[in-house]
Structure formats: C-alpha cells, structure tokens
C-alpha cells in the first residue's frame, strides 16, 4: 500500500516539521518545543553533536576551554539536517555571550 501525503495549503506563517512532515503555524512555543525534542531525543542530533565536538578537538572554538562544552547552532534553518558550518563548539561562558549578541 502506498501512502500519499495529504496536500495542505501553506500560509506565509506555516512551516513543515522536519521530523514528521506535518505543516504547522509558526509560534514561539511550537518552535521551542520542536527544538527541545530534537536536542534531547534525536539520534541525529547526538551524532551531529559528537561529530562537531570531535572536529573541534573537544575544545571551545572561541577561547580554547576544554570544560562545559556545548554545541551551538549558528542558524536554525537546517534543524534536523545541519551542515557542518551550522554548528560551533563553545564553552558555557562563550555560549552565553553568543546568545547575548
């Protein structure tokens, strides 16, 4: 049996979920819940995160610290299928500074 995707008219405020393909209307709460699900549960994210840490030599790419490392999205445009340049490894302090910009 072939499943056919239901065609849904998209508005300028709608987006398609990268995980299930369902269209949804953009809201801050909806986007945050999708992001939280992705970084906490996704095997894809765990793999991308490990790759970014390995590429950076397990060091902050701004100050060189080797503790409290976090992987930061420079852009959320490719969430779920990030390009290598979309991610940067930062220590907790540099990550906070990045979000203050």
Helix axes 28-41 and 43-55, enclosed angle (nearest 10): 70
Q: Same domain for 25 and 51?
A: no
Q: Same domain for 49 and 71?
A: yes
Structural domain containing residue 86: 44-101
Q: Is residue 35 assigned to a domain?
A: yes
Token digits of residue 63 = 């100050």
Q: Same domain for 25 and 50?
A: no
pTM over cut 0.85: no
Q: Same domain for 32 and 79?
A: no
Per-residue pLDDT tens, the chain, 101 aa: give them. Answer: 454 444 444 444 566 666 666 665 555 555 778 788 888 888 989 999 999 999 999 999 999 999 999 999 998 888 888 888 999 999 999 999 998 87
Q: Same domain for 34 and 54?
A: no
Of 33, 98, 51, 50, which Cα lies nearest the Cα of 72?
A: 98
Q: Same domain for 63 and 76?
A: yes
Rounded Cα gap, residues 50 and 44, in angstroms: 10
Of 23, 46, 39, which Cα lies nearest the Cα of 79?
A: 39
Q: How many domains does the chain have?
A: 2
């Amino acid at each position: 049996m072939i499943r056919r995707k239901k065609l849904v008219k998209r508005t300028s405020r709608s987006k398609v979920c990268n995980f299930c393909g369902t269209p949804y209307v953009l809201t801050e709460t909806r986007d945050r819940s999708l992001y939280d699900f992705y970084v906490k549960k996704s095997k894809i994210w765990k793999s991308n995160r490990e790759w970014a840490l390995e590429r950076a030599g397990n060091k902050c790419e701004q100050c060189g610290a080797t503790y409290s490392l976090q992987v930061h999205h420079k852009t959320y445009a490719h969430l779920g299928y990030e390009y290598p340049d979309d991610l940067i490894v930062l220590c907790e302090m540099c990550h906070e500074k990045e979000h203050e910009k």
